[in-house]
Amino acid sequence: MKKLEIGIIGGAGYTAGELVRLLLNHPKTNINFVYSTSNAGNKLHQVHQDLIGNTEINFTSEINKNIDVLFLCLGHGNSTAFLANNSFSENTKIIDLSNDFRLIADKIFEGKEFVYGLPELQKEAIKNAKYIANPGCFATALQLAILPLAANGLLKKDIHINAVTGATGAGTSLSKTTHFTWRDNNFSHYKAFTHQHLGEINQTVNQLQSDFNSEINFMPNRGNFSRGIFATTYTKFEGSIEDAIKIYKDFYKEAAFTFVSDKEIHMKQVVNTNKCLIHLMKFENKLLITSTIDNLLKGASGQAIQNMNLMYGFEENLGLNLKANYF
């Protein structure tokens, strides 16, 4: 089988840089073009400086409409505008990394029906999909923390979440909260109770447990590190810790990248990988679920390639056997 021809739109951001790094080492892909109007003509490694020696590809302002797979790495709201102005071959599969098509109300666009691309939720639907809405980074970490409870109808009370993300979660655009002098030795919350990823989290919970009518209280935080998400979620749970562990391990027994750890976890175990690690603890009538991912990999580009692998019948972990930055 010849290699898949890949196009990337919005090639200068963090997610695109990680996508390029992974695709260059994927045995079934060839990067056909990386589109960026602001960097057209420049070498990829002039922007993504970790790619020096790996590729001499240039950014381009021209698009090949006959590629096999198109990855959209655009800011939220921009994928819709791009697809409205650019058409591709009927055989081109599209994986969008923005939030434009994640919600059921937005999943159909100009005759294209986007499938929500969380493999642990609906692997079979992804295998048969032509268009994928890649989940958000926080949404991935938080859904993987509560999917097993929802699937078993066990979410009975409010869910409380506190999660911290690295500076890359804000993208490459400069702002006062990503400036080194602001971020260093600092900590803050943002979008308290209103983060945009709550829409897809609530949607998935109700897909699995239609009678859930309690609150999901989400407090996102900015951490003074570059990449990774560390989330603690708790809710009422009447069973024992042994019951909870069995529920989670049974739910994820076929998962390629999501694992339940018997020991407490920390973020360095997953940074630079496509893994999600989960740990469970019971305190009185509360179940604490700790989950951690790399926001740029399992939370974005790695999961996008995981979805591509499923769409083409490749091994799910192809090109994604990565070592964590453990030390």
CB 9 within 8 A of CB 72: yes
Using DSSP, state whether 105 is helix, strand or coil: helix
**Which residues does the annotation mark as catalytic?**
137
Contacts of 171 by beta carbon, 8 Å cutoff, 6+ apart? 13, 14, 75
**Cα–Cα distance measured from residue 3 to residue 200, given in angstroms and rounded to the nearest whole number:** 33
Tokens of 61: 């302002």
Buried b (16+ CB within 10 A) or exposed e, 58-88: ebbeebeeebbbbbbbbeeeebbebbeeeeb
Compute CA distances 115 → 5, 132, 297, 321, whole Å.
22, 5, 19, 25
Gap between the Cα atoms of 260 and 258, Å rounded: 7
Per the CB < 8 A criterion, the answer to whether 145 and 218 are in contact is no
Q: Give counts: helices (H), strands (E), the chain.
A: 9, 14
Cα-Cα-Cα-Cα dihedral sign, residues 176, 180, 186, 189: positive
